[in-house]
Each structure stands twice: as C-alpha cells, then as structure tokens.
C-alpha cells in the first residue's frame, strides 16, 4: 500500500519537497541575508499550511479560529528562539548574519510531512474533511508550527532593527533634496 501511495503522489509534490529541503538545508550553515530573505521559508510554509487547512476551514469555520489562536500562541516562543540564535545585524552590508541551525529544516519537513499525511488520508477517506476531530488537531498543528516559524523570522527581523539601533557606529544616510551632499544621522536620533 505504501508503494502505491508513493506512486500515486503527483510530481509537483516532490518538487515542493525538494524546494523546501533546499531552503531548509541552506539554513544549516552560517549565512548573511537581507531582511526580506529571512521571511522566504516561513512565508512558504505558512502558505502550505493554509492550503492544507482550506478544506477544513470551509467545513468547520471554527478550525480557522483554532489555527489562528495556535499561530499566535506559538509566535512568542518563536521570537524567543530568535533571541537566542546568535544572529547579528551587520550595518555595513545591511545583512543579518545567522549561524547555522537545524531547526528551520526540521520544522519545514514536519510541516511537509503533516501536509502529505493529511493529503493521503483525505484522498483515501474524503469524509475526514468534514470531521472536526480530524480538522481541529490539524489546525492546532499547522497553526502552531507556522506560528513558531513565523515568530522566529519576526524575532530575527526585530533583532536586526535592535542591533542596528544599538551599534555605536550604525548610521543611516538621509538625502536632503536641497543639498547635493548626503546628511548623516545616527539611528534613533
């Protein structure tokens, strides 16, 4: 039966798994990223979680509320993970230096596996979509994992702003249209 399930899995599912694995694996090593890249993997996994839950949201609107509560509830622990990550904002190149971590890869693969299991189970038994005892635990899991991931990313972004504001040599360049020269000002001044 397992081989049959795998053989009936659409190719695009394996493409998504490959993409998620590559994105997650890229976070195993130390790297420097612009702020926007910090959100790439969490946003992708958030969309996958929402896509997985859409039928459940339609069948049981309460599952959307459960998902949202789980997302918000796990965002704070996610932010705490970011605070302990060792990330440093590099003001010169305007990049966030992140040490390598297995957490993003593990979370990404967990979300993918949950989505895959849910897809297989509901394909084999479509009635599961209508059962709150199936949809509500999924809402908790997808919402919680997405919240943890999103909270971590938002925490990293907050660290980048906080580090930039607290570094003594941190400067921004403001351009005054009346003067051809740039005016330098300290952040927070």
Quote the pLDDT of residue 169: 40
Instruction: Kindly indicate the confidence band of residue 162, based on its pLDDT and cuts at 50, 70 and 90.
Output: low
Residues in the chain: 189
Instruction: Kindly indicate the confidence band of residue 134, based on its pLDDT and cuts at 50, 70 and 90.
Output: very high
pLDDT in tens, 149-161: 899 889 888 876 7
Domain coordinates of the chain in residue numbers?
2-186
141 pLDDT above the threshold of 80: yes
187 pLDDT above the threshold of 70: no
Q: What predicted TM-score, i.e. pTM, was given to this entire model?
A: 0.73
Instruction: Kindly indicate the confidence band of residue 91, based on its pLDDT and cuts at 50, 70 and 90.
Output: confident
- According to the per-residue pLDDT averaged within each range, which of 46-55, 66-75, 116-125, 164-173 is highest? 66-75
Environment class of 150 (CB within 10 Å of its CB; exposed 0-12, middle 13-18, buried 19+): buried
pLDDT in tens, 5-39: 888 889 999 998 999 899 889 889 999 988 888 88
Which residue is listed with tokens 């949950």?
Answer: 114
More confident position, 172 or 51: 51
Instruction: Kindly indicate the confidence band of residue 172, based on its pLDDT and cuts at 50, 70 and 90.
Output: very low
């Amino acid at each position: 039966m397992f081989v049959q399930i795998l053989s009936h899995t659409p190719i695009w599912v394996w493409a998504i798994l490959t993409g998620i694995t590559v994105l997650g694996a890229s976070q195993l090593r130390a790297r420097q990223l612009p702020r926007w890249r910090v959100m790439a993997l969490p946003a992708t996994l958030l969309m996958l979680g929402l896509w997985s839950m859409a039928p459940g949201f339609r069948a049981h609107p309460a599952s959307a509320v459960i998902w949202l509560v789980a997302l918000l509830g796990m965002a704070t622990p996610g932010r705490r993970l970011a605070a302990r990550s060792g990330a440093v904002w590099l003001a010169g190149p305007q990049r966030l230096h992140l040490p390598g971590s297995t957490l993003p890869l593990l979370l990404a693969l967990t979300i993918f596996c949950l989505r895959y299991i849910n897809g297989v189970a509901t394909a084999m038994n479509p009635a599961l979509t209508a059962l709150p005892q199936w949809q509500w635990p999924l809402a908790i899991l997808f919402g919680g994992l997405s919240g943890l991931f999103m909270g971590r990313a938002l925490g990293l972004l907050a660290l980048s702003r906080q580090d930039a504001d607290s570094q003594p040599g941190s400067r921004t360049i403001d351009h005054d249209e009346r003067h051809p020269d740039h005016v330098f000002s300290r952040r927070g001044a």
